[in-house]
């Protein structure tokens, strides 16, 4: 592309570390054009508390985005309640969602090339009477995507999820052939489209211990997962499994893998976060827009202390910019 990637960065829960992380974006001159979507007054106050010499520059979509060190462009969305670092207030739940809506609309109108999200607090949004199970589901609804897959990535490992925020007792019923087929198609297609992997090699975990032990520890592998993988492999995918999750994540198995599909949240993400917590990136696959996020929560106890680690946010920005460039490269090759 002839210009730098342009990204909207939502500052997330105002009482958490999201505003602190976003302020670190002004530390250095930037190649990627970044605009923070947040309350400008909130960002000024947090910079004052943290004693940061950052100039908050109000930004509108028809303006160029400054990239100089010390300047942070902010597309201001007004909050409702006065924000106190570390103290959640349901009054600001609507504000948090409005920042997300603004970033989504900017992506849809091609004002920006993608969006990066700082952490939100699901609990306080629900306390405000707004049903909210996470960024992924919210963005799927707002973009009208038919299916979305959550994938986290760190150096040497990508882990996608067949199910996300479900109670563990509901997971087996959710492992259906149709769901797995949809998830694997999205994962395979987006690894090719956004990461330039011509023939992704995907390891698929079993649901049960020892991948069901031939049916003695559960039949989901035999009845659902194995037949589906055989069919998709016959159609041209490169899927290996179902593999026992306790040995899948060994270096030998991961050596030539492009991604792992875990059956549920706490099957795959503890391994990923053990390997790269604070340096990992959450990527939403299957959306018509590019979206990445940090790998951690709001860390209310660290808000406005100057101790928040911004590495995951910077990794998320780098990943989103890479995805933008890869998408543009693919478009040029098709032209």
Summarize pLDDT for 25-56 with one digit per residue, the tens. 999 899 999 999 999 999 999 999 999 999 99
Q: Which pLDDT value is given to residue 3?
A: 81
pLDDT in the model for residue 335: 67
Same domain, 179 and 71: no
Q: How far is CA 211 from its chain centroid?
A: 28
The verdict on whether residue 273 carries a ligand-binding annotation is yes
Closest by CA to 290, choosing from 121, 106, 20, is: 106
Contact 107, 37 (CB under 8 A): no
201 annotated as belonging to a binding site for a ligand: no
Regarding whether 298 and 276 lie in a shared domain, the answer is no
Q: What is the CATH number of the domain that holds 325?
A: 3.40.718.10
- Given a cut of 70, the residues of the chain with pLDDT beneath it are 1, 335
Residue pair 277/295 in contact by the 8 Å Cβ criterion: yes
At 82 the pLDDT is 87
**CA distances in angstroms from 218 to 174, 209, 221, 260, listed in the order given:** 15, 8, 7, 21
Same-domain check for residues 313 and 181:
no
pLDDT score for 261:
98
The answer to whether 265 is a known ligand-binding residue is: yes
Residues 252 and 207 placed together within one structural domain of the fold: yes
216 belongs to an annotated ligand binding site: no
pLDDT at residue number 328: 87
pLDDT (0 to 100) of residue 1 = 60
Query: What pTM, to 2 d.p., does this model score?
Result: 0.93
What is the extent of the structural domain holding 63? 1-145+287-334
Phi, psi of 200 (to 5 degrees): -60, 135
Asked if residue 194 belongs to a known ligand binding site, the reply is no
Indicate if 139 and 276 belong to the same structural domain: no
What is the count of structural domains for the chain?
2
| Whether residues 56 and 139 fall in one domain | yes
Question: Is there a single domain that holds both residue 276 and residue 293?
Answer: no
Q: H or E element: which one contains 193?
A: helix 177-195
Is the CB of residue 66 less than 8 Å from the CB of residue 110? no
Other Cβ atoms less than 10 A from the Cβ of 318: the count is 16
Per-residue confidence (pLDDT) for residue 162, from 0 to 100: 98
Say if CB 241 and CB 204 are below 8 A apart: yes
Flag whether 291 is marked binding.
yes
Residue 226 confidence (pLDDT): 98
């Amino acid at each position: 592309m002839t210009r730098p990637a342009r990204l909207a960065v939502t500052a997330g829960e105002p009482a958490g570390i999201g505003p602190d992380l976003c302020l670190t974006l002004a530390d250095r001159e930037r190649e990627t054009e970044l605009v923070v979507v947040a309350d400008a007054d909130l960002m000024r106050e947090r910079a004052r508390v943290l004693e940061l010499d950052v100039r908050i520059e109000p930004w509108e979509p028809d303006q160029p985005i400054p990239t100089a060190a010390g300047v942070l462009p902010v597309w201001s969305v007004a909050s409702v309640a006065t924000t106190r670092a570390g103290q959640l207030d349901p009054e600001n739940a609507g504000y948090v969602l409005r920042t997300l809506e603004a970033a989504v609309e900017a992506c849809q109108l091609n004002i920006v090339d993608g969006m990066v999200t700082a952490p939100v607090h699901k609990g306080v949004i629900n306390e405000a009477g707004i049903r909210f199970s996470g960024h992924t589901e919210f963005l799927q609804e707002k973009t009208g995507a038919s299916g979305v897959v959550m994938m986290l990535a760190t150096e040497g490992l990508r882990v996608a999820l067949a199910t996300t925020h479900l109670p563990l007792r509901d997971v087996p019923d959710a492992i259906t052939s149709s769901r797995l087929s949809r998830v694997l198609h999205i994962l395979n297609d987006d690894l090719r489209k956004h990461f330039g992997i011509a023939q992704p090699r995907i390891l698929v975990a079993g649901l049960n211990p020892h991948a069901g032990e031939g049916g003695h520890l559960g039949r989901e592998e035999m009845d659902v997962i194995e037949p589906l993988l055989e069919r998709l492999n016959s159609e041209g995918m490169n899927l290996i499994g179902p593999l026992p999750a306790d040995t899948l994540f060994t270096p030998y198995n991961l050596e030539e893998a492009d991604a792992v599909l875990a059956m549920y949240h706490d099957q795959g993400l503890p391994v990923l976060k053990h390997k790269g917590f604070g340096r990992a990136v959450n990527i939403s696959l299957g959306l018509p827009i590019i979206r990445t996020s940090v790998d951690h929560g709001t860390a209310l106890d660290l808000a406005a202390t100057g101790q928040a680690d911004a590495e995951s946010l910077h990794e998320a920005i780098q990943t989103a910019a890479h995805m933008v460039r890869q998408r543009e490269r693919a478009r040029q090759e098709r032209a």
